[in-house]
Amino acid sequence: MRLLLCGDVVGRAGREAIVAELPRLRRAFALDLVVVNGENAAHGFGITDKICEQLYAVGCDVITTGNHVWDRREIIPYIDGDPRLLRPINFPPGTPGRGYGVFRTRDGRKVLVANAMARLFMDAIDDPFAAIGKLLDEHPLGSIDAALIDFHGEATSEKTSMGYFCDGRASAVIGTHSHVPAADYRILPRGTAYMSDVGMCGDYDSVIGMQSGSAVARFVKKMPVERLQVADGPATLCAVVVETDDASGLAGRIAPVRIGGSLTPTWPREMEETARALSPS
């Protein structure tokens, strides 16, 4: 099975990159399920129902979020009615929305997708390790065909710890939130694919997706400055492809994808060639 996670979509530039490239990615890698982190999709802060519809229309199956999930208040009444839009599972009981779902691929296989948020240098919310551990106990590989966890956090130590905590129980643990792609993608000893951060889908001629002038001023002046404005230049789409074993549900390959914008492009051609060889003539 082939799973794709696209990093945090930041503003219009990030949305346009997803719209332009996601259909091609689905075809090139014969993807079975696509997850997009959309928490910064609405002008850099939050997400709306219309953006959700736009992402679904171009081939996204599930949308994950993080600490900016509630920035657009209109998403609060919407999220309960959209099972494909996830918020972190470790928000307190009674929070609107869902933290996970079991989703069917086009050929009927079942994939658990979970969204959790870290706590180091983040909001003080419930324990993500307890929440994810309970969820994986309830949905072991074998009862489902694959399990993908988007762990939204600041500290690489906490994200790496989640990777090892889930090793052998999840197909992949992929970090989001820092907006900078990590180089530590690998398969852990017991078969779980891991990457500390997939990066963002946005304009990298910026400070993590925001125009550099006001972002730099915040550090230099240490006083209130103008509101951060999202950068709207050509975006780099950052994603990761995970290939799982059909029998075990564990990972066999993990590879980053970077397209467009100012970062060096990366394209896992061996996965594209495999997909082409297996596709009907």
Catalytic residues: 68
E-only strand ranges, the chain: 2-6, 8-9, 33-37, 62-64, 100-104, 110-117, 146-152, 172-176, 186-187, 193-195, 200-201, 237-244, 251-259
Integer CA distances (angstroms), 19 to 26, 69, 93, 184, in order: 12, 21, 34, 27
Q: Are the C-beta atoms of 82 and 52 separated by less than 8 Å?
A: yes
Q: Are the C-beta atoms of 205 and 233 separated by less than 8 Å?
A: yes
Beta bridge partner(s), residue 237: 259
Q: How far apart are CA 165 and CA 200, in angstroms?
A: 25
Contacts of residue 37, defined as CB under 8 A and 6 or more positions apart, other chains included, come to 5, 6, 7, 8, 9, 63, 64, 65, 66, 150, 152, 176, 198
